[in-house]
Amino acid sequence: MEIIPSGKNGMVYTFISVFVVILIMVIVSSGNSLRYREKSIVVSSRVRAMNNFIEDMESDLDREMYIGGYRALLSLQKYARLKQGFIEDVDAVFSEIFLNGTANGTTIDIMKQEGEGADFASWVARINEEAEMLNIMITPEPVDVSLQMETPWAVQIYITISFEIVDKKDLASWEYVKTYTKTISIVGFEDPVYTVFTNDKISNLIFQSNSSDFVDDSTLDTTNLIYHLDNSQYIASNSSPSFLMRFSGNLSDSTLGIESMVNLDNFQKQGIAVRNKTVIDYLYFSNLTTADYCEVLNMPTWFRIDEGHAEQYEVNLLNTSDC
């Protein structure tokens, strides 16, 4: 005979059944929640680790841009010397040197020193080695490299890079494009105008003049002017070509230009034929004709300066003759 539970007992059984179901759901839900929390902690930890890696990488890239950029500028000078002429596309050649350590496919030694290559490709290889140890895959692709004057005495390097950074377990990934810059002083670098026009017989290093007062107004003493001339030092001038323009042989004016005086004594010692022209470098090496002053008081007999620069160097204070 089938026993049918009374109404009160039926409610108890129903309550117990619902409770058991709810308890099971809570237990399952708690298990899932625990797993989610554990996974979240793992992902969060991985994201922090990768973020730290990216911060270290960008700090290292800043260092690479200075070392690589400095050596690439030196290599640009070496290339002009090997080429025995000016460089038509300075940006393109610099970009190849900076990225690959080559110029027109020819390896530049100071960019490819074994184990410490200064070019971008060598940097990428080193970064990939570090990333591999952290189970990270990194793909930095240079989008653009350019070079421009920041001041008359410094150049600025720009590199735009597309990054893809992926965790090998697919826990996190980054994709972004960013432009980085680095400023490098040109002080101490060779002036390519001297190198090319003298067939590498004269190397003139760029050093800024210590004085802007070239002639003593009261005594007409020209000690500072003679020192400036003897050492072919430079001043900023918006009528002169910039450092980068000099690599391409562009002797026109720039707001970020620099100029020096050609020491013809040095030229004669090296057996270089001298010109009867103003000693202002970009005019001396150009085909332009200028009205010059000669027989300048307290200056070497070969010294000539054009009328346009006489006031700048205070030669207008001195006795002169027209050439």
Chunk the chain into consecutive blocks of 10 residues (it has 323) and report each block's average pLDDT, rounded to whole numbers: 40 40 43 50 68 90 95 94 91 95 90 83 92 90 95 97 88 88 97 95 95 92 96 97 97 97 96 96 96 96 96 95 94
Query: Taking the C-alpha atoms of 28, 31, 32 and 38 in order, what is their torsion angle to the nearest 10 degrees?
Result: 180
Per-residue burial over 207-232, b = 16 or more CB atoms within 10 Å of its CB, e = otherwise: eebeeeebbeeeeeebebbeebbebb
Token pair in block for residue 287: 């085909």
What was the pLDDT predicted at 212? 86
What was the pLDDT predicted at 122? 93
What was the pLDDT predicted at 8? 42
What was the pLDDT predicted at 41? 56
What was the pLDDT predicted at 1? 36
User: Which is it for the CA torsion 270, 272, 273, 274, positive or negative?
Assistant: negative
What was the pLDDT predicted at 263? 97
What was the pLDDT predicted at 29? 45
What was the pLDDT predicted at 7? 45
What was the pLDDT predicted at 3? 35
